[in-house]
Structure 1
């Protein structure tokens, strides 16, 4: 993730359900300030997926959202303290019949977030932090 950011902000969050809303509000404000309205919806979806994953990996622990921009676009990065690297589900053609929509299993249909992030970004990856944990990041071109 080599870059020279022209603007960069880091927001510490707790790994709780409230983190996603706070992160979306932060990203919404910054993307609008930069006049990148055309990537706003995608950026909000990406940050939702990345923050949700980080909060699930490290519940009630600190996570960090970094939002920056450089000559090549906007970089959204989320840090968590977990050592496990994310694993995307194998891509398959998914239909409604494949989902278990019963109330008991409704939340078990997830796991597609990394594919969403890959589809919406021009580049993405994961970097282990020398101080511990990892950064999951993506670049969106404005």
Structure 2
């Protein structure tokens, strides 16, 4: 696991590992580049929670941003289970916005699940049915904006921009 805490807008990893996302001078950044593993989402949750508190984000906003971080990094880990993934949280102090983003090397863009199942339909599913596809919808419901950005050489960033309360 490669962990970077920086105040610099310079991305310290080479572009062939995880492409740099555009940033502005003065942004505060938390970054993680790692191979997917079961402990990555809870590690990201703890890192993000601690960093958001340090940045002065109000406690009532920390939970939804931490959840978004876990959802996005979990999706990245699932999309490319044998390749590096990246995570980034960026505080833009002037705009008072925080961007939560995850990168993976897959060219496939995420889709939000539009289906709404009734309890009866859920009960009728086989026991080994894997639910999924609702995490990005959950993130989109609490973010000011969500989006994707393809990266040169393959892969994409999936991001959510928040305007949280600050203390």
**TM-score normalised by structure 2 residue count:** 0.75
Distance 2:126 2:83 in 1: 31
Distance 1:30 1:111 in 2: 27
Q: Which protein shows a greater Rg? A: 2
Corresponding residue for residue 8 of structure 2? none
Structure 1 regions of 5+ residues with no counterpart? none
Aligned equivalent of 2:119, options 96, 101, 108:
96
Given that residues 122 and 138 in structure 1 are in contact (C-alpha distance below 8 angstroms), is that contact kept between their aligned partners in structure 2? Answer: yes
Aligned equivalent of 2:48, options 11, 19, 27:
27
Given that residues 16 and 60 in structure 1 are in contact (C-alpha distance below 8 angstroms), is that contact kept between their aligned partners in structure 2? Answer: no
How far apart are residue 8 of structure 1 and its match? 1.4
Q: Name the one with the larger helix percent.
A: 1
**TM-score normalised by structure 1 residue count:** 0.88
Aligned equivalent of 1:76, options 82, 100, 105:
100
Distance 1:29 1:98 in 2: 40
Q: Secondary structure at the match of 2:90?
A: strand
Given that residues 39 and 140 in structure 1 are in contact (C-alpha distance below 8 angstroms), is that contact kept between their aligned partners in structure 2? Answer: no
Structure 2 regions of 5+ residues with no counterpart? 1-20
Tell me whether 1:9 sits opposite 2:57 in the alignment: no
Cα-Cα RMSD: 1.9
**Structure with bigger RCO (C-alpha 8 Å, 6+ apart):** 1
Corresponding residue for residue 42 of structure 1? 64
Given that residues 49 and 114 in structure 1 are in contact (C-alpha distance below 8 angstroms), is that contact kept between their aligned partners in structure 2? Answer: yes
Q: Secondary structure at the match of 2:110?
A: coil
Given that residues 30 and 51 in structure 2 are in contact (C-alpha distance below 8 angstroms), is that contact kept between their aligned partners in structure 1? Answer: no
Corresponding residue for residue 10 of structure 2? none
Number of paired residues?
A: 139
Q: Secondary structure at the match of 1:8?
A: strand
